[in-house]
Every structure is written in C-alpha cells, then in structure tokens.
Structure 1
C-alpha cells in the first residue's frame, strides 16, 4: 500500500519524511530513535504491507510531535510522543485503530 494521510482532529498523520522539504529525523531522535535509516525502513514496510508508520504532525508547520505505527499482521497499534505531546499520540492512536478496523487488519 502507498502511504495514506489521516486526519486526527487537531493533528494530521503523514508518512515519515527525510527530504529537502521536511526531515523528521531530529524529532525522531527526541523519541529515542537511534536507527539512522528508520525513515527508509518505514517506507519499505509500507510497500511490503508489514507495518504502516505515521508522523503525527502539527498542521500548520508539519512538525513531528509523535509517531504511531500499525502492524499489518496483528492490527496492533503503538505510539510514542515527544515530551508534552501525549495528547497528539492518543488522538493518532485512536485514528489509526479506526483505519485498521476499516481495513480489517488483525482480524
């Protein structure tokens, strides 16, 4: 599947990015992500329908506040948030669970 964006109320979810317009790696490091190819692996996981990962973003700046992931085989959703942005992660988790239900993942 190609990455899809999701509206999660006050936040929006998009695929992780590292390009000339947006680089999520500094924010991911704040989340404790040490894999320098995390964004690339996330893109490959989307293509292989293994795991769908989103950046949970502030809508006006696109800044990554949290990350949420959905395992395609189980339908399990996990999230992690930058300090002070747990509400964004919670809203994103609920939105991704609805997405998983619509796709009938983990059933």
Structure 2
C-alpha cells in the first residue's frame, strides 16, 4: 500500500521522509530515534502492510512533531502507538484520534492502544 496522507485540521499526517526536500531525522532524534534506517523501515512497513506510520506535522511548515503508527496484529485489530516531541502531546492525541478513525474506517480493523 502507498502511504496515505491525512489532513486532520490543526495537524497534517504524512509518511516519514528523509530526502532533499524534507528530512524528519532531526525530529526523530529529538524523540530518541537515531537509527539511520528508520525512515526506510517505516516506508517498507507501508509497502508490506505490516506497519503504517505517520509523521504528525505542523501544516504550514511540514515540521514533524510526533509520530503515530498502527500495526495490524492478524486478529482483526491494529495496535496504535505513538510518541511526541516535548511540548507536542496535544498533537500526539490528535494524531492518535485521526489514525484510530483511519484504521477502523479504511482498513476495517479494530484499533487498540498500548
């Protein structure tokens, strides 16, 4: 599956990126994620439909402030996870709410949250 972008009003959800236009690696590092292959791992998750992830971003700058993910578990559910940069906890909650609706409506899976 190709990554799905979601406009959530105050926040914009998109696939993680590390290219010549947008580089989420500094924001990921602020969240404690320093694996240089992390963005590739998340891209592969979409392609294999094993994990769907979104960078929750400021809509005017596309700056990543949190990450939200959904992992199908094989039993009709998908486990939701996420983390936020300091000060962006409201963005995390908004992202989780948006992804919960996507998982239920578009994927037909029952979302669970760890």
What is the CA-CA distance between 1:38 and the residue it aligns to? 0.4
Q: What corresponds to 1:51 in structure 2?
A: 51
Q: CA contact under 8 A between 1:9 and 1:91: conserved in structure 2?
A: no
Structure 1: gaps (5+ residues): none
Structure 2: gaps (5+ residues): none
- Under a length normalisation based on structure 2, what TM-score does the superposition of the two structures give? 0.90
* RMSD across aligned positions (CA): 1.2
**2:95 aligned counterpart, secondary structure:** helix
Identify which of structures 1 and 2 has the higher relative contact order when contacts are C-alpha pairs closer than 8 Å and 6+ apart.
1
Match of 2:108 among 94, 104, 107: 104
Aligned partners of 2:45, 2:23: CA distance in 1, in Å?
19
Aligned partners of 2:110, 2:2: CA distance in 1, in Å?
19
- Under a length normalisation based on structure 1, what TM-score does the superposition of the two structures give? 0.95
How many residue pairs get matched?
A: 107
Match of 1:90 among 76, 89, 93: 93
